[in-house]
Structure 1
């Protein structure tokens, strides 16, 4: 029996793989609206900060050591190291680190994580080529737009119905777009690269149920796979030109309810980057709004943990499924950062959910009795307002029921999302805090200045040079 005769209609988008390739291969810096240049530049800065913060974590250091050991000599910087590598390997290490501490960007309603893959790929290939900032930003814009459009076409079905991780599936196409554009590959070669990238897409979300560090690696594999696909296509190796939309292509394989038109509708004339979001807290995007509600309640009321009878967190169904499976006793950092119960309790007991709070949890072997005790009194439920808003907005309604009577209620939107955006000053402060902790304040400021110079065609190599120089000095 033919595969297409098994019930569901075929995905019939015409030429999506080719249209996406034509968009990426033809994009120039001059084509970017000023607001796109500004947004991408901020997200480059944020992604580098997230990557530097992640590079200090032991699970991400494992991947960096592996990458540096396996790579031939190359010119590309590895976060948190004085060593360099070939582009694929530097991107593997840096993208893993960038997705390695739950402080990287995301997109609504696409539910994608573009920056952790696109930016490391752009920096690695940009360093390899000695590229200028404008060329790099055009490539990064192509990568961000590609990832977001794949998200719009496949989520939430990709995860809710099939269990795949957005970063590993979408990101490889973003990285391929970046590498092809930076290397000046034509549309046909880029389409072939996308055909190869489709066979690198993957990653399942069982980590939301039983932990493990693999979630961080999905970004690294996507960045590595996208660069590899571009390199092989450049060298003449071919992939299917309908790998995305074909009857046995990615959309049919990875999403039960795909929206094929989202890939190309308005492509080249309408940007879909308005939904890009940044994180304030070191947790899954779905927990950002609950933590903001708790933070606002803490700012207005005295809330000692002993006074709390129960905390009820109202969110949408998809968020509840994604961050509600892990309970009060996480066994590793992934479980901790994907447990809404534990994160809410940590905010009330420790006073926040920043890098220092999670470092304290890690040092305690993920066992802080006061946090776990309160986490056992946190309950998630469906909230009608949050459900109606999802996935365009992430809302949460938090109700704190007090011992002795009384209830405090707060509704909040995820900070850093389009409905509650961070200011430029807040984005910069976040970066300097994350990067300064790992590379020192002087290097962090130098990186910031180099990123600021990219729209003026400052060299890509200048972005990470201060980090490499700092670690060279420390190793001397």
Structure 2
């Protein structure tokens, strides 16, 4: 690593200014934010992102890898007072945040940001659920004596978290971190959960800055987690825990890292942008750029497929080819496909364009692999949770197409908001070739509507919980700003859910 002399002209770039006050400006905004400062459409979107996150948690609580995680955690964690989604068990704040975050991210059905990749609900909601119950617990003293968290309190804190994560990511180079092998969401998610928790706990701006610093010094996450095992599902939950820990630690004056975004030596943006080859290496100004006027949370996308968001353009390109050429892509003719070429953005090619090393892959690996995802779209004409059940992972008709698929990087998709697009070229054994391009998958422009999010919620919730509970949760979340006590919502989450995947 090359360490620049403080007088090096490259450090005179305003993007690298160590004294621009970015972290303190963000912290003041977090503290001061009020309902009147947030446009109505942003508030509505936040409520629907909460709804989407909750249903992902309800479904994800009962997949096999989540159940394994619960069993292990309950072996060493003592009982507490914080809700665990889908289980009639309560744990301490940090342990509950880890499990709830793991559930929300468990099935790859949760949200993602298109410019600074992270799964925001898996980071923000678990921290807020636990923080709300810390406040409500009569044995835990709080500085201002609050014991009830209103729905409005919860909503404001959610907006803060949803807005902070992408901004930290954009300052660090957006998709670049993912391209270089970091799991970007657990990195960008640490300041997001710290910001949200701090807002709910009522921290001063100075303490918010400390909490963000404590969260950021814990940041990390290796994208090698995608190939096998189960830990990839938990890594966003680490960020939820880290930010919550920072807020709880600093709410009474404990001092964390200050100026963590703008510090050149050992700062968050400086260190996580090492080796990216960009000029400037990072830009701390992007953390607060148009803060309060341009809402980055509106670029959080809602998944319609149960796989990595970067392959959604590929799925839609293949679906279009199936629609345009029904005879060619009929089930009995799939064996006549000779070659499939998939062209992806740099970040998604690095993340998902790898050739499988073994057959079958794990559920995690399958949901992260472009060749496998494309093959199940061709065979099953859908990419939902059922396509990644253990019983489906070794089908000959799928693997025949996996082995015929090769992925490539196409710089066309490195353009803003094109990162999840794809171009697919399919050759048949008689020389016939078809091609389809999708620059931006469904939900980019225009985005998925709030009504469509509610439809997704109802469809998924019906597979996990009863009708009465499903309707109560939706009603409370959609009317969150009018809810006197968020405990009414949290009480609906721990009851057992149905197992949705064998």
Tell me how far apart the structure 1 counterparts of residues 234 and 497 of structure 2 sit (CA, whole Å): 23
Structure 1 residue 470, shift from structure 2 partner: 5.0
Is 1:134 aligned to residue 152 of structure 2?
yes
User: How has the CA–CA distance of structure 1 residues 440 and 335 changed in structure 2, closer, same or farther, with 3 Å as cutoff?
Assistant: same
Aligned 1:215-234 pairs, distance under 5 A: 215-234=232-251
Residue in structure 1 matching 2:388, options 343, 346, 358: 358
Alignment counterpart, residue 119 of structure 1, candidates 125, 144, 152: 125
In the TM superposition, what whole-angstrom CA distance separates every residue of 1:414-450 from its partner, at most 9, and x where no partner exists? 5443225223332122222222222233322222122
Report the Cα distance in structure 1 between the residues aligned to 2:411 and 2:23, rounded to whole angstroms. 38
Q: Which residue does 1:419 correspond to in 2?
A: 445
SS at match of 1:419: coil
**Paired residue for 1:373, among 400, 409, 416?**
400
Say yes or no: does 1:159 pair with 2:178: yes
Return the offset for 1:79.
Answer: 1.6
The one of 409, 430, 433 aligned to 1:404? 430
- Aligned partner of 2:482 among 443, 456, 466: 456
Equivalent residue runs for 1:429-448 within 5 Å: 429-448=455-474
Residue equivalent to 1:466: 492
1:262 matched residue in structure 2:
286
Aligned to 2:364: 334
Count, aligned residues:
466
Deviations 1:120-161 (A, max 9, x none): 222232344341111111101100110010111112332334
Assess if the C-alpha contact under 8 Å between 1:443 and 1:470 holds in 2.
Answer: no
The within-5 A match list for 1:186-197 is 186-197=204-215
Aligned counterparts of 1:128 and 1:34: Cα–Cα separation in 2: 29
- Residue 307 of structure 1 corresponds to 336
DSSP 3-state at the match of 1:82: strand
CA deviations 1:71-120 (Å, max 9, x no partner) are 55444321221222232222110111111221111112222321211122
Q: Quote the Cα distance in structure 1 between the aligned partners of 2:481 and 2:219.
A: 31
Distance 1:66 1:414 in 2: 40
- Counterpart in 2 of 1:285? 309
Tell me which residue corresponds to 1:100: 106
CA pair 429-382 structure 1, distance change in 2 beyond 3 A: same
Aligned counterparts of 1:405 and 1:381: Cα–Cα separation in 2: 21
Give me the whole-angstrom Cα distance separating, in 1, the residues matched to 2:449 and 2:110: 16
Of 150-159 and 216-225, deviating more is 150-159
Q: Is the 8 A contact 2:38 2:292 kept in 1?
A: no
Say whether 1:180 aligns with 2:186: no
Q: Any unmatched runs of 5+ in structure 2?
A: 136-147, 275-280
Q: Which has the higher mean CA deviation after the structures are superposed, 101-110 or 64-73?
A: 64-73
1:414–1:216 distance in 2 versus 1, CA, 3 Å:
farther
Q: Match for residue 58 of structure 2?
A: 52
Contact 1:280 1:415 in 2 (8 A): no
Mean CA deviation greater in 63-72 or 431-440: 63-72
Question: Which ranges of 4 or more aligned residues in structure 1 deviate by more than 6 Å?
Answer: none
Quick check: 376-385 or 171-180, which moved more? 376-385
> Contact 1:275–1:417 (CA<8 Å) still a contact in 2?
no
User: Larger helix proportion, structure 1 or 2?
Assistant: 1
Q: 1:330 offset after TM fit, Å?
A: 4.8
Residue 12 (str. 1) matches residue 17 (str. 2): yes
Say which is worse superposed, 140-149 or 212-221, in terms of deviation. 212-221
Distance 1:441 1:357 in 2: 25
- In 1, the alpha carbon distance for the partners of 2:348 and 2:129 equals 32
Equivalent in the alignment of 1:240? 257
Q: CA distance change for structure 1 residues 211 and 290 in 2, over 3 Å: closer, same or farther?
A: same
Is residue 2:299 matched to residue 1:275?
yes
Q: Could you tell me which residue of structure 2 aligns to residue 211 of structure 1?
A: 228
What does the per-residue CA deviation read over 1:383-420, in whole Å, with 9 as the maximum and x for residues that have no partner? 45424x34455321222222323223222245443225
Q: Deviations over 1:207-227 (max 9, x none)?
A: 34x433222111111111111
- 1:296 counterpart residue number: 320
Which moved further from structure 2: 287-296 or 121-130? Answer: 121-130
Cα drift, residue 188 of structure 1: 0.6
